[in-house]
Structure 1
């Protein structure tokens, strides 16, 4: 009987330790709503703008640079919680991921289409960013 009680107590103790671990993990998860609304343009990418870690991240950085956009960049290679969490948050499986005014725009291919079609200039205007390409065109 005593061994049954001890094993039951052991079960509850180990279960409560797991709950504490799970709760502590929840508390440390990044607040993606806050992150994507922290700046007008936010990019989750492999590497950093000065040294992109993949060709797609490089293309996104070059497009944004052409437009003169200053953006918050988050290197997903440095933090697994950010890398996995942003995929879940946006429901998009690949990097880079671009957010404008807190809204998910898409990845590299979508940004390229927006750039080529002129839609990126319009989206940037909506958040108060005048594209450098538009300024040059006006001259």
Structure 2
């Protein structure tokens, strides 16, 4: 009679070892592809700043070429990096644009700018302006669009 490890014991050990390696591999792969659903500290802080930020449209004029001359004021507590504009036409066309400033728009400082659109024979219905804030928190810089918007309705 030979002495040694039985084939049944070897099979059980190999199956157990394979299952253990498979579990370790699966855990490693699932951690590798895990989606980070948390909001970064920077984004959370910017959302707080957005609550204390607002814009006011002071004046809007449409010239003969269809360009819109806008005077706007930052009535919030923080500097505005950029503006997002949405212009709605009577025919349900929407023009969107980003206005970047060379220097941030300071609180209570008015600024003028012009939106030049190809007006295809339709009248303007309304205008929305949203502020874009940028800030650095804990060595992380981020920006976000604040959704408290200034609106203007055109009269026909």
Q: Say which structure is richer in helix.
A: 1
- TM-score, scaled to structure 2: 0.28
* Structure number, greater radius of gyration: 2
TM-score w.r.t. length of structure 1: 0.31
